Amino acid sequence: MEGQAGVLSQALAQFRALGPRQLAALAGVALLLLGSIAFLALRAGSPPMALLYADLDPRDAGAVVQSLDKQRIPYQLGAGGSTVMVPEEMVPKLRLALAREGLPAGGNVGWEIFDRGESLTTTPFQQDMNRIRALEGELARTIRGLSGVRNARVHLVLPQREAFSRRTNEAQASVVLSMLGSQRLDREGVQAVLHLVATAVPGLKLSAVSIIDSRGELLARGGEALTGPAAASTQEEMRHAQELRIARGVEELLERTLGAGKVRAEATVELDSERVQTTEERYDPDNQVARSTQSTQEQSRSGEGGNNSVSVANQLPGAEAAGGNGDRSQESRTEETTNYEIGKTVRSALREGPVLKRLSVAVLVDGVYEPQPEGAPKFRERTPEELQRLTALVRGAVGADERRGDRVELVSMRFAASEAEMPQAAGGFLNLSPALTARLIESGVYALIVLLALLLVARPLVRRITVLPAATAALPAAGAAAAAVALDAPEGRPALPPAEGDGGEAMISLTQVDGQIRASSISRLGELVDTYPDETLALVRRWLAPAEVEG
């Protein structure tokens, strides 16, 4: 007890001997240390935060935050309130609990709007509006479940039939789609959305449904998907539809091998829209057909008699001509004519619609990400052999013709993925989550800063403050002892007493000094002089002129 009391009294005496500046510096160091320790304790005590939901609608974000406040669960908001962060170990449980409450609803309400019940003041108009809102919300939720669709909004117009009226208006619907990244809905997907909406709403026809995307592109009009060339009404729409069809075909073909989102294709089509009529006749000399045949046969006779007189006897039947001695002649001729028809082919062609004149296709493919033992995967461009095979595949798919001047270019470059599409690391240090690993590293950096502050700033300052009073008190005593030794020295020469302690320590001989001095004593004396120059100067002045100092 007496020892502890002595130490305490000695510490109080040292603090009392300190000046205002030294006390202020010591208090600042103490406050800095306490603040650092408190900060590290709070950082270590707070749980690591993880993502609960992202890209929330303001209405859904407000409902989620309200539910978290009721459960007294800490959370953090980011990205303008569209991102909610909660403690990492509570993420699965909170998602299940919020899903049981119907959150997030995607900014839409479904049939749960009728779970609240209706009051006596609810009007038929409000009931109809709630029914339309429920239909719109349920359709939007179903459409959001399609692959590649990030968000959807559905607008329905369901007219009410007036009493005693035969006139009825048709129902109409409009759908707005927001796709994920650069994905686009193909023709089959658009047709699926059309039939989904038309069959879910009573009295709605396919021709009364229109679909557009977030870029303002019309995907369906009048119940027909506008993603094919046959649906275009103008040459520009036909060209655009043809380019879109070719580009999507290339992307779908290569994504089966390279992966979804790893291919981007663009096509440029040049169409010839001139109206051309062609008539062609071809004759085949080797193909002859007999068309008609004509035969002619002629016979003629002629003769000369001796008596050419005409009498009744000559004309009687059976009478022989008198004077039958005369010359007679006979002539016969046969003629046959055949007409042949030469084979002929007549072809008539009329071209009215635009035809493909030239085609250019540009394809951009992502490279290969090779996993590394430590750190993120390393990017590598595809080899020329791979690019050649992919180019040949694309040329065959689009029907490229070199005689027509078609071009196909395929390049491998690194894609700039968004934050939502970035692959997350499987595990951090010691199989810890990346968030917890980052927090441990951060806490270690803070602890290292505090340790360096203690070693480089606080320790020298405290040592200087505590040693200064003792050294100041020791210097006058040392000076008095040295003066006493100097008075007893022979011939007025100062001398130091023999050193005590270890006799094996190195000794130094000085001129005009009898005996030897320890080397450690000289070193210690030099340190005191460098540390306390003012006190040393006062002591030397006292030695040189003791009478003036005392006076």
List the beta bridge partners of residue 268: 360
Mean pLDDT, the chain, whole residue set = 74
In this predicted structure, what is the pLDDT of residue 509?
53
In this predicted structure, what is the pLDDT of residue 346?
85
Tokens coding 209? 């449904």
Give CA angle at 428 (450, 37), nearest 5°.
20
Please report how many Cα atoms fall inside a 13 Å half-sphere around the Cα of residue 402, on the Cβ side. 1
Give Dmax (Cα) for the chain: 222
pLDDT (average), residues 339-348: 81
In this predicted structure, what is the pLDDT of residue 430?
53
pLDDT (average), residues 293-313: 67
In this predicted structure, what is the pLDDT of residue 496?
44
In this predicted structure, what is the pLDDT of residue 309?
55
Tell me which of 353 and 175 has the higher pLDDT. 175
Task: Convert the pLDDT of each residue in 218-244 to its tens digit.
Answer: 888 766 665 544 445 567 777 888 888
In this predicted structure, what is the pLDDT of residue 11?
63
Cβ partners under 8 Å of residue 5, min gap 6: none
d(CA 392, CA 549): 105
- Whole-prediction pTM: 0.43
In this predicted structure, what is the pLDDT of residue 3?
55
d(CA 111, CA 370): 48
CA distances (Å), 435 to each of 28, 326, 386, 423, 426, in order?
A: 34, 145, 38, 15, 12
Is residue 478 over pLDDT 80? no
Is residue 133 over pLDDT 80? yes
Is residue 369 over pLDDT 70? yes
pLDDT (average), residues 405-414: 91
In this predicted structure, what is the pLDDT of residue 259?
85
Tell me which of 366 and 469 has the higher pLDDT. 366
Least confident of 17-26, 219-228, 419-428, 452-461: 419-428
pLDDT (average), residues 268-280: 84
Is residue 539 over pLDDT 70? yes
Give Cα 541 to chain centroid, integer Å: 80
d(CA 504, CA 496): 18
In this predicted structure, what is the pLDDT of residue 168?
74
In this predicted structure, what is the pLDDT of residue 409?
93
The band of 188, judged by pLDDT with boundaries at 50, 70 and 90, is confident
d(CA 496, CA 380): 79
d(CA 56, CA 67): 15
Is residue 112 over pLDDT 50? yes
Domain 235-284+344-368+378-413 has CATH 3.40.50.720: no
Closest to 63 (Cα-Cα) out of 94, 30, 95, 98: 98
Contact 151, 144 (CB under 8 A): yes
Tell me which of 271 and 451 has the higher pLDDT. 271
| Token pair 């080899």: residue | 383
CATH topology of domain 49-100: Alpha-Beta Plaits (3.30.70)
In this predicted structure, what is the pLDDT of residue 388?
92
443-446, Cβ contacts within 8 angstroms, sequence gap of 24 or more: 443/40, 443/43, 443/44, 446/36, 446/39, 446/40, 446/43
CATH class in words for 114-161+168-227? alpha beta
Amino acid making up residue 373:
P
In this predicted structure, what is the pLDDT of residue 499?
44
In this predicted structure, what is the pLDDT of residue 390?
93
d(CA 545, CA 551): 10
Least confident of 66-75, 192-201, 488-497: 488-497
